Structure 1
Amino acid sequence: MALPRDLVDIRTIYHEAAVPDFPRGRAILDRFPQAERILVPSHWNIPTLHGNAGAVEDWVRIKRSTLVLGVKKGLAMRPNGRSAHFIAPSTSNGCAMACAYCYVPRRKGFANPISLFVNVDTVCAAIRRHAERQGPLPEPDTIDPERWVYDIGENGDLSVDAMLCDNVRDLVALFRDLPNAKGSFATKAVNRDLLAYEPRGKTRIRFSLMPERIARVVDVRTSPISERIAAIDDFVAAGYEVHLNYSPVILYEGWEADWAELFAQVDNRIGPAAKAQLKAEIIMLTHNADLHEVNLGWHPKAEDLLWRPDIQEAKRSEGGGANLRYRSGWKGRWLARFKALLAERMPYCTVRYAF
């Protein structure tokens, strides 16, 4: 795929010393011969990117022009139980897109361009060994009726990663051949190159959706909502299982009317094959005090929607961060209203989990 220059135009590559030792590392470096190469001891600790408050002013430029290459060290599979049975080791971290509510900047500091891991063969081998040890799925559950599901895109967007290298193609091929396992990732980008990957029903793509007028404010540098909806039928026809992420659900005056309009748009634009297999996840917004401060430095308009202490309450995260979520009690009522609205407009769209 020709890289969209407004999304990715790589000018600087930070890389660990071992990167050229891997075929995938050499392929990526060769793809961007004009880029300045900067050797770093660790993909995770780059002072000019991570924790550099001054980088807020260059938030979008860094995402478009900077790439980080490293070798994935941790290969553990983490139990999940919500969107997937297990979180697989990531083949990337960070993103070229800039959604204002993204949790990754909370961990990485003020800039989080794409980091790609070049030892994808090692990651695939670890997933294969783990799946073989699991054996068959004992019984159907809310995650999947037949197979163990591995989330392969927790810390990035694989549709964009696939514009830069073949890691995603390799992951789709891995699951195509695993009899008891399925890969899954959420995306806010439409990359039609993925239609040729032949998933044969073994990769689940979760297109994230929200009302278009809100997405124009908070889903920065992503594919338009209408484009994501238009891609659903094509990805189903190409052999993907396609689910929807209604995520994040942001509350504001008029949210119900906007979501009703979105449900009608989806219902009118997808065909019987997509509807027959469609399921969804609902994720209410969780915000973060540190991210709020970061956003004020580059996109304060988004905070008018995201930072609502009048209807939010503090919640300490497992990692010790100061998060904000919609107030207990009220959140449950709003979620119930959302689910009722979805059931009324799209009764065939089963909710796998709501959070």
Structure 2
Amino acid sequence: MDTVTAPSSPSSEALPRPARPLLEITRIYAEPAAAAAERGRQILARWPEAEVVEVPSHWQIPELHGDERNVRRWVRIKTEALVLGTKKTLTVRPNGRSADFIAPSHANGCAMACVYCYVPRRKGFSNPVTTFTNIEQIAAAIAKHATKQGIKLEPNQCDPDLWVYDLGENSDCSVDAMISDNVRDLAELFGALPNAKGSFATKYVNRDMLEWDPQGKMRVRFSLMPAETAKLVDIRTSPVPERIAAIDDFVEAGYEVHVNFSPVIIEDGWQEKWAELLQQLDASTSPAAKAQMACEAIFLTHNRALHEVNTGWHPKAEQVLWRPDLQEAKVSQNGQANVRYRWEDKQQYLREFLQLVERYAPWCRVRYAF
């Protein structure tokens, strides 16, 4: 009699590890007023099993902010923690690069973990999403400012016709839209404003946003870089091919879609990698998407403090980000001591990059590059 041998189970090492959800909220730190607001109650209802911890301020959470031991739990905290706060400073600030103005933040922090992100430099060691629940006040401040601006009389590189307000300076709106209706509320606000549009950069494809009606008044800027580099430094983001594939869908849904070539990182073979990416973008986007598209190109700026944080959880990425042989000290517009590629070398890199865009994606207007 033949012996039947049951198939052996594959080893755990052979099985692909399932991707962990971007958000698995188990603890919500909440200012009392933020939790009591209508938006706060809606968010708490989305995660009814989460532990709610009352905090005096979204900036004063010792177990999240300023504890260097959190470096070892960097991604776990981003996945499991959420903070609810009240946005107290409702100032609209001038910009002139990505947008005419920077809107008051509806959120701060991110569930993704891009290694070069500047926001952790302020919060320190952990940077989960803080959602501001006083969205009515935030929207009212934007509307009041736009009304005072009146009609845009002269075109500029931000937009020829409308005042552009950046909505995601300290967060990623595509992820914020998974947590609350703040971003949708702002999209509806701009749909009603005759002289303004919203704008945000993103590294995450949230296809639920395709069901909205942006009426051409919301500019989505998909951040792109060579896929191989993104796998190293864009942690927990949508893969670059997925971002490119979403462009036509968002254009068809009524969004204005631009791209951010950001950050441009100087590494071995960077020109060839960017040439390949630009060819992929050219082959994958429709004539309609190309006709309305423009781009920004931003070269890497880094920071010693962030370098030290990253060394504690992702040292491999720092091999391409922290390059003292190529970089020099730079004081940023907000007064931080950063490092950038040496100025004269950077001018050459910039020329080479723009030549690549002109060769492989000549239809893509460069709004600005630095």
Q: TM-score, normalised by structure 1?
A: 0.98
In the alignment of these two chains, the number of paired residues is: 352
- The 3-state SS of whatever aligns with 1:304 is helix
Question: Is 1:259 paired with 2:274?
Answer: yes
Question: In the TM superposition, what is the alpha-carbon distance from 1:145 to its structure 2 partner?
Answer: 0.6
Counterpart secondary structure, 1:313: strand
Is the contact between residue 261 and residue 295 of structure 2 (CA under 8 Å) also seen in structure 1? yes
The alpha carbon displacement at 1:53 in A equals 0.4
The 2-side partners of 1:173 and 1:267 are apart by 31
Q: In structure 1, what is the equivalent of residue 239 of structure 2?
A: 224
Q: Which stretch has the larger CA shift, 214-223 or 308-317?
A: 308-317
Larger Rg: 2
Deviation at 1:320, TM superposition (A): 4.0
Deviations 1:251-284 (A, max 9, x none): 0110000000000001001101000001000000
* Residue of structure 2 equivalent to 1:159: 174
Match of residue 104 from structure 1: 119
Runs ≥4 residues deviating over 2 A: 316-322
The answer to whether the Cα contact below 8 Å between 2:197 and 2:219 also exists between their aligned partners in 1 is yes
- Where 2:366 maps in the other structure, the secondary structure is strand
Pick closer, same or farther for the CA change 1:161–1:286 going to 2, 3 Å: same
Establish whether residue 134 from structure 1 lines up as the match of residue 146 from structure 2: no
Distance 1:253 1:336 in 2: 17
Q: Tell me how large the CA RMSD over aligned residues is.
A: 0.9
Counterpart position of 1:323: 338
Share of identical aligned residues, percent?
Answer: 62
Is 1:38 the counterpart of 2:53? The answer is yes
The answer for the alignment partner of 1:335 in structure 2 is: 350
Distance apart, 1:44 and its partner CA: 1.3
Letter paired with 2:248: D
Q: Give the match for residue 21 of structure 2.
A: 6
Amino acid at match of 2:40: G
Q: Deviations over 1:185-211 (max 9, x none)?
A: 000000001111100100000000000
- Comparing 127-136 with 317-326, greater Cα deviation is found at 317-326
1:280 aligns with 2:295: yes
* Structure 2 residue matching 1:9: 3-state secondary structure: coil
Structure 1 residue aligned with 2:286: 271
163-172 or 313-322: bigger deviation: 313-322
Q: Secondary structure at the match of 1:149?
A: strand
Give TM-score, length-normalised by structure 2: 0.94
Structure 1 unaligned segments of length 5 or more: list them. none
- 1:99-248 matches, cutoff 5 A: 99-248=114-263
1:205-255: CA deviation from partner (whole Å, max 9, x where unpaired): 000000000000000000000000000000000000000000000001100
Contact 2:35 2:84 in 1 (8 A): no
Q: 5+ residue gaps in structure 2?
A: 1-18
| Structure 2 Cα separation of the partners of residues 159 and 317 of structure 1 | 27
CA drift at 1:322: 2.5
Alpha-carbon distance in 2 for matches of 1:283, 1:206? 13
The SS at the match of 1:132 is: helix
Out of 18, 25, 28, the residue aligned to residue 40 of structure 2 is 25
